């Protein structure tokens, strides 16, 4: 059975490491002044992947904090996946040609499906589809809008178009340390038949252990942010838990 991957998260705003509560830009906590230093800590602790999000980019629909992403991708051994503000083929090319291992396309899956499908046919598993859901329906544009598209329906459609990896966030749990919505994550994995990375709500080592039990169903890993920053557990402890 392949390993269950822990993705420590670095959310960047104004060049700093921050966390937003449920995606609310007015509810921000700053956890560090240097995304690179934070990534190095995670990498040194044994993380094989780092999950980075350009929050400014997501808001402005263009790349803003990209220099920090490339710094991590080029100087650290961990693989990097990046999301936030990636709306054009040039932006996708830019990251993948400069050492980033995987690009996350989110809101564009609803607003510009042709673009997303083109990127899937061009890059395959180097593209992850970020699906953020509220009550089972897709949310877009930094969670400001909820669409009338069911998350599992969008997942199936994009799996048919070549998506191999999905990142599924249940907005209700994000940043709340309330435990992940395991049922919704497993439902997405079963609906798509592809690999799904759980995002949002992980608050304990037990949460990781529970998610890892569904590895055979396609739950490939978990993105962990606030729980690490608030010292619920360390990256080392997380990696040990899911081995």
Candidates 11, 54, 56, 174; catalytic one: 11
Residue 182: strand, helix, or coil:
helix
| Contact partners, residue 96, CB within 8 Å, separation at least 6 | 103, 123, 126
CA atoms within 13 A on the CB side of 211: 35
* Length of the chain in terms of residues written: 243
- Return the DSSP state at 179: -
44 is catalytic: no
Q: CA 100 → CA 6, 11, 127, 152, distances in Å?
A: 17, 16, 11, 28
207 is catalytic: no
Whether the CB-CB separation of 131 and 166 falls below 8 Å is answered with yes
Q: For residue 198, which of 133, 113, 147, 124 has the smallest C-alpha distance?
A: 133
| Contact partners, residue 4, CB within 8 Å, separation at least 6 | 208, 211, 212, 215, 219, 220, 221, 222, 242
Candidates 56, 132, 174, 207; catalytic one: 132
Q: Which two tokens stand for residue 144?
A: 């400001």
Q: For residue 53, which of 97, 19, 90 has the smallest C-alpha distance?
A: 19
| Contact partners, residue 108, CB within 8 Å, separation at least 6 | 86, 87, 115, 116
Catalytic residues: 11, 132
């Amino acid at each position: 059975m392949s390993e269950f991957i822990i993705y420590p998260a670095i959310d960047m705003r104004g060049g700093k490491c921050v966390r937003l509560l449920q995606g609310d830009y007015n509810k921000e906590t700053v956890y560090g002044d240097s995304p690179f230093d934070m990534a190095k800590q995670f990498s040194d602790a044994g993380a094989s992947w780092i999950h980075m999000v350009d929050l400014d980019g997501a808001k402005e629909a263009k790349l803003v904090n990209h220099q920090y992403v490339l710094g991590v991708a080029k100087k650290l051994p961990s693989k990097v996946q990046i999301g936030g503000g990636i709306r054009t083929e040039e932006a996708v090319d830019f990251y993948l040609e400069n050492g980033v291992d995987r690009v996350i396309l989110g809101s564009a899956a609803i607003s510009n499906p042709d673009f997303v499908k083109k990127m899937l046919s061009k890059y395959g598993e180097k593209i992850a589809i970020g699906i953020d859901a509220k009550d089972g329906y897709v949310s877009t544009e930094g969670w400001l809008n909820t669409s009338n598209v069911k998350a599992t329906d969008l997942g199936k459609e994009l799996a048919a178009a070549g998506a191999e990896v999905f990142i599924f966030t249940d907005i209700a749990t994000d940043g709340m340390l309330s435990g992940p919505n395991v049922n919704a994550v497993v439902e997405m994995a079963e609906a798509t038949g592809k690999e799904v990375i759980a995002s949002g709500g992980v608050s304990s080592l037990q949460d990781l252990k529970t998610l890892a039990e569904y590895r055979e169903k396609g739950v490939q890993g978990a993105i962990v942010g606030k729980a690490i920053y608030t010292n619920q557990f360390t990256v080392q402890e997380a990696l040990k838990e899911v081995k």
